[in-house]
Amino acid sequence: MKRTPSTGATLTLLGSLSLPACGDDVSATTETDTEGTSTGSPTDSSTSLTSTDDGPGTTDTGLDTSGDGPTTAGSESTGQLPPPEPADFVVTIENVSDQGLMFSPLSPGVWVNHEANADTLFQSGVADDDEGLASLAEDGDPTALAAAVAGHNGVDQVGVFDTPVGGDPGPLLPGDMYEFTFTAEPGTRLGLATMVMGSNDLFIASGPAGVSLFAGGGQVMGERDITDVLRVWDAGTEANQAPGQGPWQAVHGGSPDLGPAEIDQAVHMHATSTRAMPLGPDIAEVIVDQDMKNPALFHVSITNVSGTRGTMVTPLSSLVWATHDDTVSLFASGGAASPELRALAEDGDAMPMDTLLTGLAGVDENGMIPGPIMPGDTVEFSITPDFMLPRLSVATMVVESNDAFLAAGPEGIAMFDEGNALNTDNEMTEAFRANLTPWDAGTEANEVPGAGANQVLRQAAPDTGPEEVDDPTVHRYSDVTNDLAGPSLGGFLEVSVVELAGVYTVTLTNTSGATAFPGVFTPTLWAVHDDTVALFEPGMLASPSLELLAEEGDPTMLLGDVMGMAGVALAGVVDTPLTMGMPVVGPLMPGESYEFIVTPDAVNRFLSFIGMVVPSNDTFGAMDPAGVALLDAMGMPRLAADIEADIAASLVAWDAGTEGNQAGAAGADMAPVGMLGEGPGNGLGEVRQADEDEIWSVPEPRGLIRVIVAPVQ
């Protein structure tokens, strides 16, 4: 779908709506690096833990293709190269995440100088072996890993970098640098690793084989930017949450080793943020193309890719764009939202901002494209860059939200470099890919994306949601709330019990309509049983019948399993909400109730029930697997109020562990849209590249870190 950009007053109001990683230096024979520039003086802020005298390692015959290394074998040199000698190197590590879409501190890290075939920091595809990788990847603590690696074969030196240049020991904040120096024997290599603290267990590291320091003949390689030979790795030790948003992540103060375990297909309590939102590349793709006939003209296309990326499916609103100088910004990070931004971010109305930009000093060209931009749609506009007005901004609402919008930062992206040379269309495209990210206008309290009653597709009228109180400023979207946490499924379900002559009437009422996560509770399996029965086993693989219930809301197979259990006296499925009219079989909508009647006895005195929370990937509501007692140990009826209190305290959200959780309530593979078995996996429990994780995308290393290695002259 192509649309012509609009600069006039025509507007369709939204209210009328019916990463591959770069090459890894893993070979001891070839390597390609990108030339870079070192900054700062060679200040050593590392702690060397060990230095052994094992002699030179295997000679590295890698060819330096960066253009800054010494002459290698096969070059024009005709003289005999001098014998190789040890060399000093300085390594500079800079946190550049403030320039990209994922703002995150980096942790203190570990560096290793090792021989070519040494056993170093980790092995790809192999589970963590309790040598300290989990401590680094989950909690940013490199000390245990450094101590363990020091004893590995082929390791010459190990150190820890933990002190930013000019600062005190601690994490590396965006814009700051670590530096360390070391002396290496010819033929040895460099390995390093640091945690991405806005994650659960992601770390940036060289490949297991490390990075070359010497070229052919043992000659010292020149100064190089090695960022592109680094990778983002997943330690596989903690379940992933949305980057920068998970409550168990180190950046939010999560206690060491307390995040949910990443165990493939194991049942565990639901702990993922229900308000998570994916990064920009999983919502929209921006491509800039230079016109073939008119080099001064550039075409910008924006495609809503949310329908194919899987983590969150959402329309985008009317879109506003502008080319401008440095005095103009669409919003101010950390400041209050303007009325124009509020109209866009809450209600998808881009007209006020477009009107404001039209004729504004410092604005060259601007326009508005009417929405909605549905998943799969592409819209276009054209610009003629002017070096006097060198920046390009776009903004559009994430419709399945309260006040989230996509933008490439307040200042937009640069169309010219510092020398006023026009950037290429590929460079502009890359700038959008690295910087387009969801922002929170801070004007309306967040609800679960895709489910909130005050979100634009479901609100009664524009600007009707409650005001944001926690952070009423414009900021990167980072809501970590889990609305299903706590008793009674976080207020999702209320249970009442009435006892009469030993017969119990149990009523389940969907109370989610009064919460930030209005949803559906599916037909529910119930059972009366003795103290030997558990409907599921936390930490164990989910059975096929539990998977069917947790992913599709179908309890029939599980009912068959339960009725075959020894110790189960009665079991059934309740699937007809109480209504004033003709009963209709179906799920429990907000405000509706299920009712069933049970008669326990002195042996079979426990009650259990289980049903799916919709929308979700594989979340179900249930009490403790052993159930709640209706009769006391003597077989006497308990007070209904006590039973209700026990049920409320025990009734929580569980994750079947069979399908990876997607964003909020708008994931492409969530019931009722997704099909059984089509969702993303839930982790492998082993070290792997983060781009293999289908749940949350993360930037490539260049969007988080810059690492320069240089010989000390």
Residue pair 81/28 in contact by the 8 Å Cβ criterion: no
Amino acid at site 651: L
Q: Which CATH superfamily includes the segment(s) 487-655?
A: F-spondin domain (2.60.40.2130)
Rounded to an integer, the average pLDDT of 6-24 is 29
Identify the pLDDT of residue 310: 58
Q: How far is CA 160 from CA 49, 89, 681, 702, in A?
A: 8, 15, 34, 22
- On the question of pLDDT at 539 being above 90, the answer is no
CA 3, CA 301: separation in Å to the nearest integer?
Answer: 10
Strand-pairing partners, residue 378, are 303
Rounded to an integer, the average pLDDT of 176-205 is 93
* Among 479-483, 619-623, 700-704, the range of highest mean pLDDT: 619-623
Identify the pLDDT of residue 239: 67
Identify the pLDDT of residue 635: 94
Identify the pLDDT of residue 53: 34
Q: How far is CA 410 from CA 397, 402, 436, 595, 692, in A?
A: 15, 20, 11, 53, 31
Burial of 173 (0-12, 13-18, 19+ CB in 10 A): middle
CA 308, CA 305: separation in Å to the nearest integer?
Answer: 6
Identify the pLDDT of residue 686: 72
For the segment(s) 41-67+87-252+701-711, the CATH number from 3.90.1150.10, 3.40.1360.10, 3.40.50.300, 2.60.40.2130 is: 2.60.40.2130
* Tokens found for residue 470: 């926690």
* Tokens found for residue 323: 């080319």
* Among 7-16, 66-75, 93-102, 112-121, the range of highest mean pLDDT: 112-121
Identify the pLDDT of residue 249: 55
Ranges 30-34, 410-414, 484-488, 545-549: which has the least confidence? 30-34
Q: Do domains 278-476 and 487-655 have the same CATH topology?
A: yes
- On the question of pLDDT at 131 being above 50, the answer is yes
Identify the pLDDT of residue 629: 97
CA 153, CA 166: separation in Å to the nearest integer?
Answer: 35
Query: For residue 667, what pLDDT band results from cuts at 50, 70 and 90?
Result: low
- DSSP letter (8 states) at residue 217: G
- On the question of pLDDT at 527 being above 60, the answer is yes
Identify the pLDDT of residue 602: 95
Identify the pLDDT of residue 145: 95
CA 71, CA 78: separation in Å to the nearest integer?
Answer: 11
CA 100, CA 175: separation in Å to the nearest integer?
Answer: 12
CA 67, CA 69: separation in Å to the nearest integer?
Answer: 6
Question: What is Dmax (Cα atoms) for the chain?
Answer: 105
- On the question of pLDDT at 416 being above 60, the answer is yes
405 HSE (CA, 13 A, CB side): 35
Mean of the per-residue pLDDT values for the chain? 82
The model carries a pTM of: 0.70
pLDDT digits (tens, 9 = 90+) for 41-77: 333 444 444 433 333 333 332 323 333 333 333 334 4
150: nearest Cα among 204, 111, 202, 92:
111
- DSSP letter (8 states) at residue 351: H
* Tokens found for residue 424: 């290429």
Rounded to an integer, the average pLDDT of 551-565 is 94
- DSSP letter (8 states) at residue 338: P
pLDDT digits (tens, 9 = 90+) for 219-252: 899 999 999 999 999 888 776 666 554 444 554 4
Identify the pLDDT of residue 391: 97
- On the question of pLDDT at 5 being above 80, the answer is no
Identify the pLDDT of residue 278: 81
CA 703, CA 96: separation in Å to the nearest integer?
Answer: 7
pLDDT digits (tens, 9 = 90+) for 424-460: 999 999 899 888 989 999 999 999 888 888 989 888 8
Identify the pLDDT of residue 123: 86
Identify the pLDDT of residue 106: 94
Query: For residue 693, what pLDDT band results from cuts at 50, 70 and 90?
Result: low
Burial of 260 (0-12, 13-18, 19+ CB in 10 A): buried
Ranges 21-25, 456-460, 475-479: which has the least confidence? 21-25
93: nearest Cα among 196, 198, 188, 225:
225
Identify the pLDDT of residue 581: 67
Pairing verdict, β 46-51 and 211-212? unpaired
Whether cis (ω within 30° of 0) applies to the bond prior to 583 is no
Ranges 93-97, 116-120, 258-262: which has the least confidence? 258-262
664: nearest Cα among 460, 402, 462:
402
Query: For residue 482, what pLDDT band results from cuts at 50, 70 and 90?
Result: confident
pLDDT digits (tens, 9 = 90+) for 165-182: 999 999 999 899 999 999
CA 412, CA 407: separation in Å to the nearest integer?
Answer: 7
CATH class as words, domain 278-476: mainly beta
Identify the pLDDT of residue 241: 64
- % pLDDT > 70, the chain: 79
CA 163, CA 633: separation in Å to the nearest integer?
Answer: 60
**Every domain of the chain and the residues it spans:** 41-67+87-252+701-711, 278-476, 487-655
Q: Which residues of 440-453 are buried (b: 16+ CB within 10 A; e: fewer)?
A: bbbbbbbbbbbbbb
Ranges 8-22, 354-368, 447-461, 638-652: which has the least confidence? 8-22
Identify the pLDDT of residue 523: 96
- On the question of pLDDT at 666 being above 60, the answer is no
> Is residue 340 within a helix (H) or strand (E), and if so which, with residue range?
helix 339-347
CB atoms within 10 A of CB 596: 18
pLDDT digits (tens, 9 = 90+) for 602-644: 999 999 999 999 888 788 999 999 999 999 999 999 999 999 9
Query: Mapping DSSP to helix (H, G, I), strand (E, B) and coil, where does residue 556 land?
Result: helix
